[in-house]
Structure formats: structure tokens, C-alpha cells
Amino acid sequence: MHEVGIMESALTVITREARAHHAQRVERITLRIGAISGVEPDALRFAFEAVSPGSVADGAKLVIRRVPARAHCRECDKDFTIESGFIFQCPRCHAFSGDVRAGRELELARLEFVTPSTTPRHVH
Ligand SMILES: [Zn+2]
């Protein structure tokens, strides 16, 4: 389950950001996960539960935003939605396309901290 490794590296970044902002703890973590990123949101939540205890993100709310996947058809010069796989077929003209424009995201979109002096702050 590579989600644990992903969550561990995310936590490294989150811990560094929290220190930089003198945060006491992390209130909320928002991740953007593409539909064909190969990452399962449920497995990611499970990994977070496994690696976050004792860290600055202990007890933080994990928000996962799914990014729909899209590929581009050169024939139609339009994007179309894709579900899974590696080779995609345009629903209009049935041409094959490997030109993926969205859906492979695996990003830390937003962190919200609790600092000694303030209520939760939004940091991009
Ligand atoms: Zn097409």
C-alpha cells in the first residue's frame, strides 16, 4: 500500500510548514487527488490514521477532493472525461488519445493551522 509512503512524505511537508508558521497543531489538511492518480482516497485516509498520531497533524481533519480525469482528442480538439486506464477513446469520434490533461493530481492543496495567537489561519 503505497498510500502510507505518500502520507509520510506529506506529513514531512506539513510538519515543516507548521513549524514555519509557529503552528500548535494542524486543523485541516486538504488534498487534491486525481481520478487516475492511482491513489485510493480510502487507503489514504487509513494511512493518515496510521501515521498522524503523535505528529503535529494528530487529530486534523483530512479533506480529500477528487479531481475528475480528462483527456484531449486531437481530432475533435475537445477534452473528454475518462474513468480509468491508460489508453483513452474519444466518445465522439472514437479516436484514441493518451493526451491526459487532468486526473493525475496528487497535491497538498491547503493547510489550516492553529497558532498560539490566532484562530485557524488559511495558508496556501
Ligand atoms: Zn474525438
Q: How far is the CA of 102 from the centre of ligand 1 (A)?
A: 17
Over residues 73-77, mean pLDDT? 97
52 has a pLDDT exceeding 80: yes
Q: How far is the CA of 61 from the centre of ligand 1 (A)?
A: 41
Q: How far is the CA of 96 from the centre of ligand 1 (A)?
A: 8
Indicate the number of domains in the chain.
2
Q: How far is CA 79 from CA 20, 69, 92, 117, in A?
A: 40, 10, 10, 47
pLDDT of residue 72: 96
Q: How far is the CA of 17 from the centre of ligand 1 (A)?
A: 44
The four Cα atoms 45, 23, 117, 27 give a dihedral, to 10 degrees, of 0
- DSSP-derived letter for residue 60 is P
pLDDT of residue 122: 63
Higher pLDDT, 66 or 115: 66
Residues 48 and 93 in one domain: no
CATH of the domain at 43: 3.30.2320.50
Residues 7 and 55 in one domain: yes
Q: Name the pLDDT band for 1 (thresholds 50, 70, 90).
A: low
Residues 13 and 62 in one domain: yes
Q: How far is the CA of 107 from the centre of ligand 1 (A)?
A: 29
Q: Residue 58 is part of which domain span? A: 3-67+104-123
Residues 110 and 54 in one domain: yes
| Sole residue written with cell 503552528 | 23
Q: Is the dihedral of CA 23, 26, 27, 28 positive or negative?
A: positive
Residues 10 and 52 in one domain: yes
Residues 22 and 46 in one domain: yes
Residues 10 and 47 in one domain: yes
